Chains A and B, each alone.
Chain A
């Protein structure tokens, strides 16, 4: 039983947390793809930027004495950070992508432009914050929650940190809000219509410019949220999201580019695949050692820990071969 709880802590909890971060990031990528038809590479750096905005706000809040013992300051300032990041995202569109769209540039050009944006944001972040590591928890402590399991002979507890619990709740709220927005509100329906067929949407009187703006607002806010969650879970550094933008793209593609619900599914799929594949299965096999015909090795992971990041791509490649537009049918560029 202890082994099962170890499995739960290392795979289920970690998978849910990682999956939430991937899902929130992938929704932004997939929305931008659905509306503007290009892969927005700078999403990872929008995440990092959002995390740094939240970090600065948290520092300011701590300095002003606005803290509560209930929630980490990072979560307290998250709404403001999301608001600011949404503004920055709108500014990025106006400064970098809108002029190209106006010229009638192909989506590929926008993709290359987004790499320029990636480099600019990353350069600026490194200019101001150096290349060191920062933490939200230098003053506060990360609270560990232990839940004992009421079974006989069980000594292990189910462990997770308070930020992890909060970020799963935040993800659930964000996903629910997005669902209500997309299915109930006029603007959300307009967005889905435009993702389906932009020309038809424009002809039927939908304000496509407004839809584009709303897309950037949502994507920017979600990017800030995903970035802050990631920074709260691990640590904050300038290339924080650069490594994670690729699994996020993998999640968005696996779910089908342009499909918001697909992105959520893809995010959790990739998150769980990563934690499952680096889990040491020997722990689960050891109690059965007497019944097994072979000797249980000390470590038995599907892939060594160093290769964790490659799992996402292997899944990506397999999905692309097996169903080229993703599990849920995705849009084409």
Chain B
């Protein structure tokens, strides 16, 4: 399976989904005006991945900011991964937040309350 790599910009996160290793990273800021446009290729890539997923998929989310229109798209990413988790594959989400950023921790807990995949909440030092 190919990888999906999108370089970050001041308003969009960098995406690095390694299809061979099953290691996914979303990092930076996700504050585009139209999130659906930005996340469309991500969803399409995931549609292919969920057909032939790795035995284990490790997702790291390391976001500084995200807007509410991105928040639905991020949930859609998790929901796609939830389908392979429910089929018995191992999926882990590592939700990173900066030290003392309770809002970002809460945002992770929001997703944790909706999605069945196990979450690790990881407080980064800087």
A binds B: no
